[in-house]
Amino acid sequence: MALVEIRDVNKSFQRDTQKVDVFDDLTLDFEQGSFTAIMGPSGSGKSTLLNLIAGLDKPTSGTITVGGAVVSAMSPSELAAWRARHIGFVFQSFNLLPVLTAFQNIELPLLLTRLSSKERDERVRIALDVVSLTDRMDHYPRQLSGGQEQRVSIARAIVADPTLILLDEPTGQLDAKSSQEVLALLGRLNTEFGKTVLIVTHDAHAAAKAKATLHLDKGVLEKV
């Protein structure tokens, strides 16, 4: 069953006086429980695709549906509420707040929910346990390694039990050992917890861990 349905999506940007077309009638599905890697050269639209699926950007035309919800038709307030419940997004630069501990960074998405303080605490501790960082919960980002920062960002992405996990270059800033740890964690989230995972990557080793790989070039996707 398709969790993500992309239908006849066009996306263009205006750069000065020039119109730049990213996607031209893109149609694509991502199945529930899939683990897919998207590869391609810089500027091919990989990150744009993630942003469209997450509702962080809107298509010029066409529809994007996630779990039956037409994301491309939602208002900003509807998107914010929907995203908080259904999307876990891991940014390439981690996007951790330096003045907050690992625990507090992970808790941030839950502050948008109606969970009690006790319920938030339980959720954060579960997420920390999943990423094996319980012993680092009181550390600030500057006190963590790159791999640990990435695992904190993944814990923040999964703490609300999202429908879909999207990751932009999850190993791009990591050394080989940290990359393997993060990729093993993503595999666990997919196989043990049944999460649908979609990663954008330049790393062939990262793509090899996925169940399927798509190559994006000039707005056209091909299965590898």
Show the domains of the chain with their CATH numbers: 2-223 (3.40.50.300)
- Predicted local distance difference test score (pLDDT) of residue 224: 59
- Predicted local distance difference test score (pLDDT) of residue 211: 95
159-198 burial: b if 16+ Cβ within 10 Å, else e: bbebbbbbbbbbbeebeeebbbbbbebbeebbeeeebbbb
pLDDT tens digits for the chain (224 residues)? 799 999 999 999 887 788 888 898 999 999 999 999 999 888 788 999 999 999 999 999 999 999 999 999 999 999 988 998 899 999 888 899 999 999 999 999 998 888 999 999 999 999 999 999 999 999 999 999 999 999 999 999 999 999 999 999 998 888 889 899 999 999 999 999 999 999 999 889 999 999 999 998 877 777 65
- Predicted local distance difference test score (pLDDT) of residue 37: 95
- Predicted local distance difference test score (pLDDT) of residue 223: 65
- Predicted local distance difference test score (pLDDT) of residue 199: 96
Q: What is the pTM of this model?
A: 0.90
Cα separation of 157 and 147, whole Å?
15
Neighbour order of strands in the sheet with 2-15: 18-31, 2-15, 61-66, 69-70
